[in-house]
Amino acid sequence: MIDWTDRHCRRFHRAITQHTWLYTEMITTGALVFGDRKRFLAFNEEEHPVAFQIGGSDPEHMARCAKWIEEAGYDELNMNVGCPSERVQKGAFGACLMAEPDLVADCVKAMRDACSLDVTVKHRIGLDYDESETMLYDFVGKVSEAGCNTFIVHARNAVLKGLSPKENREIPPLRYEVVKRLKQNFPHIQIILNGGITTLDAIEDHLTWADGCMIGREAYSNPWLLAGFDEIIGKPATVKTRLDVIEELRAYAEQELTNGESIRSITKSWLGLFHGQPGGRLYRQVLSDSTLLKANNWQVVEDALAKMFKHAPVV
Q: Which position among 9, 65, 83, 107 bears the catalytic label? A: 83
- Say how many C-beta atoms besides its own lie within 10 A of residue 18's C-beta: 15
- Under a CB-based contact definition with an 8 Å cutoff, are residues 40 and 72 in contact? no
Active site residue 96: no
Q: Catalytic residue numbers?
A: 83
